[in-house]
Amino acid sequence: MSNDLLPLYTLASVEGWGIEDFNTTAQKISKSRPEIIAINLAPNGIVRHIFPHEENKNTFGHDLLKDEERKKEAELAKETQKITLSGPFHLRQGGIGLAFRQPIYFSSDTGKNEFWGFAVIIYRFPDIMVSRVNFEILSQAEFSWRLWRIDPTDGKKVVLLHSKEAQDDFFTYEIKLQNATWYLDISPKNGFLNLERIAVLVSVSLIICAIVSLLAAYFVNIVTKYKDIKKEVVLDSLTGLHNKKFFWETFEPLLEKYIQGYDTRSTNLFLCVFDLNNFKRINDTHGHIIGDQILIEFSKKLLQELDYNEFAVRFGGDEFIAVLNCPLAEGMDSPKRIQDMKSRLEFTYCIGKEDLNVTVSMGAISPCHDMLLGKPAHISSGEFFLELADRRMYIEKKSRMESKCHQDGCRD
């Protein structure tokens, strides 16, 4: 693993880390590498933590495993559990970058390695190369040259770097990398094996070694070194969402600050509880493997609904929680964003020739100080508001069941 990626891998394994911890870690990495454009953590392959955020905010929510130009290397990293090199390519935030993706795996309770997501560092190209590899020696010795690769998405030749002079008669050197092959073409202007240029050919070998060494430095595997990494993390091993432990450690202090400043806020905090309908029947009918796949798919959809500084939790089984910030329309129990979100979270899952409609019940509440007047003394504020949201969710679930029963002509 790259020395730059190591702190990110470690951060993802630590209990209770949050956005401030990520920013602090990413800032330390960036200070030592001026070529860094962006540092990302992507749970389940979806970019959720970005530094620096403002310059790269249009990459938030980007799914590396679905992007046609990115998914091949991302899937390879996930499959091999090894870091991969991707690019150079045009970035969504502008410019050209070279990306290193480290897949992050943790041991589940069963001892199986579960995929969490990716740690990604994107370097500005060609800065990362020209600052460390002396191509100028070739031009000074009157050699024309070009560095190129085959694009894995379309199979076309892509020139990465080249000298000012262009010639057709090149000798090609192959440069083997972790998951890719680059090529260096060189051509002397005045004959190939002129004795005065033999030393330059030696320099070509040194340049190739420099390229391989530079990029190979990012491919040091530390899997064995990190087998004893903390297992008690704040992430759900199946879905990649945060877990119940994270929810209580984060929501209680967040709620306290929110309640204190409730009257001056321009946006309202919303606590949303989701429960998949008839999930037990799905497990009983189709098996737990299909059930797990449905939970994973729902989690991905829920992550895609989040904005910066919002979070989602798998609270247990098929129950999920999202903590959102959004305006409250007058006279409405929940804003339009939350109402629309619920319909987007429902989907059809195909099992062979059968289409399984996955629906969800939701309860949403925006906490305020006045509500606390009804709070029992033996429970915390967080527990109280979660219970209120839970009640609303079950009211909706019951109403939905009664409506379906009426349509189907059920009898008591």
User: What pLDDT was estimated at residue 271?
Assistant: 93
More confident: 185 or 407: 185
Q: Residue 4 CB: number of other CB atoms within 10 A? A: 20
pLDDT reading at 200 higher than 70: no
- Give me the CATH code for the 244-408 domain, please: 3.30.70.270
More confident: 403 or 192: 403
Q: Give the residue-averaged pLDDT of 169-180.
A: 77
Residue ranges of the chain that CATH labels 3.30.450.350: 6-128
CATH homologous superfamily for the domain 6-128: CHASE domain (3.30.450.350)
- Whether the CB-CB separation of 103 and 97 falls below 8 Å is answered with no
pLDDT reading at 398 higher than 90: no
pLDDT reading at 8 higher than 60: no
pLDDT reading at 129 higher than 60: yes
User: What pLDDT was estimated at residue 313?
Assistant: 93
User: What pLDDT was estimated at residue 276?
Assistant: 94
Q: Which amino acid is at 10?
A: T
Q: Which residue from 135, 124, 67 is spatially nearest to 100, judged by alpha carbons?
A: 124
User: What pLDDT was estimated at residue 393?
Assistant: 92
Confidence of residue 227 (pLDDT cuts 50, 70, 90): very low
Q: Give the residue-averaged pLDDT of 270-284.
A: 92
Rounded CA-CA distance 302/299 in Å is 5
In this prediction the pTM is: 0.56
More confident: 200 or 321: 321
Residues in Cβ contact with 399 at an 8 Å cutoff, skipping those fewer than 6 apart: none
Q: Give the residue-averaged pLDDT of 105-117.
A: 72
Angle ∠(147,150,155) on CA atoms, nearest 5:
155
Q: Give the residue-averaged pLDDT of 213-242.
A: 51
Confidence of residue 94 (pLDDT cuts 50, 70, 90): confident
User: What pLDDT was estimated at residue 231?
Assistant: 35
Strand order in the sheet with 143-150: 157-162, 143-150, 181-188, 171-176
pLDDT reading at 222 higher than 50: no
Q: Give the residue-averaged pLDDT of 302-325.
A: 89
Q: Which residue from 222, 12, 17, 225 is spatially nearest to 106, judged by alpha carbons?
A: 12
Confidence of residue 412 (pLDDT cuts 50, 70, 90): very low
User: What pLDDT was estimated at residue 160?
Assistant: 86
